Amino acid sequence: MTYSAFHPTPRTLMGPGPSDVHPRILEALSRPTIGHLDPQFVTMMEEVKALLQYAFQTENALTLPVSAPGSAGMETCFANLVEPGDHVVVCRNGVFGGRMVENVERCGGIPILVDDPWGQAVDPDKLAATLSAHPEASIVAFVHAETSTGARSDAQALARIARAHDCLTIVDAVTSLGGSELRVDDWGIDAIYSGTQKCLSCVPGLSPVSFGERAVERIKQRKTKVQSWFLDLNLVMGYWGSGAKRAYHHTAPVNSLYALHEALLLLQEEGLETAWQRHTLNHQALQAGLAPMGIEFVVDADARLPQLNSVWIPEGIDDAAVRTQLLSEFNLEIGAGLGDFAGRVWRIGLMGYASQPKNVLACLSALQAVGLHADTSPVAAAQAVYASHR
């Protein structure tokens, strides 16, 4: 069989990730590859760390991108902080809270569950009651922005409760970094991980992480080896530590790190709070446009993620047929529901570079074109929101 070069059809990515990649980031990927220990590259690494500190709003020295996607960032946090026999409270309100449970168990820890219904934020009162009932717990883990449902939990309140019970926090910020308010130091978060392919609009394959002083001290005091050699921060920091001299650990994804550097520059140029506001405005416009089609949100207004809009599929509408038609006729991707939400929910992403008025308006028009009836113009409703913010 003869093969030829792969040239994918350009898509507008409005699902749960990856998101559209900014042209400047694509250009950064094409720059000449240099060695991962080259002095020029080491200089860039230092800049990436500083830019990540800005994105996370932290001064944590141990802030770096893991050379693997967000799931590896999750595992980095759990593998380094959880030892066999440790009791870990996991707040579970969707798929990714469930993955946290898996990580605890695979590290030999004992999970203590705080369950909330899918589509709802984690209940701080439930967490407080659970910690009072389980003084043996030493870690609290929760998802800030649950990608499977579009629900945002109050990370500041949950971290405050955990600290009051002398517990470290592990926080999933894969979908929130760059798209929703997140202040690691001000909120007292001890360990956090994210991904590059959501609101940073970078290519998939890297996972920014950050560890505070309390977390670093726990890692230093471990009684057992970190079960993962590749993710052992004691070893990784030999490469990502400060200064020009770096110890070889692995061959870093050089060009992907160029891309992350450019993505973080774009975020800094826009301004973090401006980026948060942009995501919120586009969410509000999308919400206004979906209403005339009778499309309702899964999550209550006070807990909705602006960058991940989880909506109920109207009665009589074929989920897979609509998504297939959007992709084949409009080159537009929206996401399906997961787990209990499969076939019942669409997840419409407005992440990073994809969070633009033109995408909101195009998505509304396309939904109408594939058969979702509207009493009034969805596009006009969205445009009215934009007009009111000019």
Give 272-305 as a DSSP string: HHHHHHHHHHHHHHHHHHHGGGT--BSS-GGGB-
Q: For the chain, what percent of residues have pLDDT higher than 70?
A: 99
Q: What is the mean pLDDT of residues 164-178?
A: 98
Q: Where are the alpha helices (DSSP H) in 115-164?
A: 124-133, 155-164
Q: What is d(CA 185, CA 228) in angstroms, rounded to the nearest whole number?
A: 27
Helix, strand, coil fractions of the chain, as percent rounded to 5: 45, 15, 40
- CATH superfamily, domain 272-388, is Aspartate Aminotransferase, domain 1 (3.90.1150.10)
Segment 364-369 mean pLDDT = 97
Mean pLDDT across the chain = 96
Q: Which helix (H) or strand (E) holds 95?
A: helix 95-106
pTM of the model: 0.96
User: Smallest Cα–Cα separation from 302: which of 124, 174, 118, 154?
Assistant: 154
- How many Cβ atoms sit within 10 Å of the Cβ of residue 106? 14
The three-point CA angle 109-114-115 to 5° equals: 120
Both tokens of residue 71? 């799931």
What does the pLDDT read at residue 247? 84
Q: What is the pLDDT, as a whole number, of residue 378?
A: 98
Question: What percent of the chain shows pLDDT beyond 90?
Answer: 95
Q: What is the pLDDT of residue 343?
A: 96
CB contact at 8 A, 326 and 333: yes
What does DSSP assign to residue 99? Answer: H
Q: Does the CA dihedral 49-54-21-174 come out positive or negative?
A: positive
Residues 6+ apart with CB under 8 A from 390: none
Q: Is the pLDDT of residue 168 over 70?
A: yes
* pLDDT for residue 240: 87
Beta-bridged to residue 345, according to DSSP, are 312
Written as six digits, the tokens of 336 are 């399906």
State the pLDDT confidence band at 23, using cuts at 50, 70 and 90: very high
Contact criterion met (CB below 8 Å) for 327 and 319: no
**Token representation of residue 170:** 């592990």
Q: Are 203 and 226 in contact (CB under 8 A)?
A: no
* Domains 23-268 and 272-388 in one fold: no
CB 235 within 8 A of CB 243: no
Q: What local confidence, expressed as pLDDT, does residue 340 receive?
A: 87
Does pLDDT of 180 surpass 70? yes
Contact 204, 25 (CB under 8 A): no
Asked if the model's pLDDT at residue 238 lies above 90, the reply is: no
The SS3 call for residue 9 is coil
CATH topology of domain 23-268: Aspartate Aminotransferase; domain 2 (3.40.640)
pLDDT at 243: 60
Where exactly are the structural domains of the chain? 23-268, 272-388
For 245, what's the count of Cα atoms within 13 Å in the CB-facing half-sphere? 0
Contacts of 209 (CB under 8 A, 6+ apart): 63, 64, 65, 66, 73, 76, 77, 191, 192, 193, 194
